[in-house]
């Protein structure tokens, strides 16, 4: 029984490892989207400040 568990255990480990990689990749994608959105909003914010200075 111990031999069977020792053989099956390495098979289970990569599955969790790939899950962690996928989760990390999703987190990276979310951060990239957040920074892109902030960048786009900053453009609008700057244009609004320019309009306010005229008044």
Let me know if residue 4 belongs to a domain.
no
Q: Which domain holds residue 50?
A: 18-55
Alpha-carbon span 53 to 23, nearest angstrom: 45
Let me know if residue 46 belongs to a domain.
yes
If one counts the domains in the chain, the total is 1
Single pTM value for the model: 0.51
Let me know if residue 8 belongs to a domain.
no
Average pLDDT over residues 5-18: 63
pLDDT at residue number 14 = 58
Q: Give the tens place of pLDDT for each residue, 15-55.
A: 677 888 889 999 999 999 999 999 888 887 777 666 667 65
pLDDT at residue number 45 = 76
């Amino acid at each position: 029984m111990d031999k069977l568990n020792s053989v099956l255990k390495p098979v289970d480990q990569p599955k969790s490892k790939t899950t962690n990689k996928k989760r990390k990749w999703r987190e990276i994608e979310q951060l990239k989207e957040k920074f892109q959105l902030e960048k786009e909003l900053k453009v609008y914010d700057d244009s609004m400040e320019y309009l306010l200075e005229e008044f």
